[in-house]
């Protein structure tokens, strides 16, 4: 049996490797695909955050998504307090300009 910590470490490593691989050949479309993959793994979204993650708005305006001013690429995801359930897609690693991700739920601490 693998310990949960071991699995987390392996997942993190896989993400870091993919961040490298995604590198400079990625673009805003890569981010778009990645965000939709992340959305698809969320099984519980009581506040309907992910309803705004649709193509009627540019992805930089999706709830909790911040883009850099210079590159127009996703630089942070802040879904704090949204009580989300699900798993993190490995596509997270394709957000090559991502610098911060906040998924905590202050109410449950
Ligand atoms: C898409 O997002 C916008 C902005 O949040 C929302 O008003 C609209 O209802 C959403 N469309 C769908 C199909 O969920
Ligand atoms: C994330 O968003 C919440 C509320 O929308 C805000 O209070 C908090 O400061 C943000 N955290 C970061 C790291 O931007
Ligand atoms: C993004 O990540 C997935 C899975 O980690 C990978 O299969 C895919 O080729 C990557 N690249 C793009 C451009 O989506």
CA distance 59 to 98: 14
Domains in the chain, start-ordered, CATH in brackets?
A: 4-108 (3.80.10.10)
Residues flanking ligand 3, CB < 6 Å: 18, 26, 30, 33, 90-91, 93-94
User: What per-residue confidence (pLDDT) applies to 55?
Assistant: 93
Task: Note if the pTM is more than 0.85.
Answer: no
Give the CA distances from residue 63 to residues 13, 21, 40, 48, 71, in Å, rounded to whole numbers and listed in that order: 28, 27, 15, 10, 19
- For ligand 3, atom 12, the nearest C-alpha belongs to 30
Closest atom, ligand 2, to C-alpha of 100: 13
**% residues pLDDT > 90 (the chain):** 64
For the residues 67-90, what does the mean pLDDT come to?
A: 93
Nearest ligand 2 atom to alpha carbon 66: 14
Name the one residue in this structure whose structure tokens are 């990645």. 34
Residue 53: pLDDT band (50, 70, 90) is very high
Give the N- to C-terminal CA distance of the chain in Å, as an integer: 29
């Amino acid at each position: 049996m693998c310990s949960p910590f071991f699995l987390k470490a392996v997942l993190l490593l896989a993400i870091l490797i993919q961040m490298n691989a995604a590198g400079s050949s990625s673009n805003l479309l890569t981010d778009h695909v990645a965000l939709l993959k992340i959305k698809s793994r969320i099984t519980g979204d009581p506040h309907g955050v992910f309803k705004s993650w649709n193509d009627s708005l540019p992805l930089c305006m999706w709830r909790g998504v911040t883009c850099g001013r210079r590159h127009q690429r996703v630089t942070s995801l802040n879904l704090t307090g949204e009580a989300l359930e699900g798993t993190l897609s490995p596509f997270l690693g394709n957000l090559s300009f991502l610098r911060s991700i906040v998924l905590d739920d202050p109410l449950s601490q």
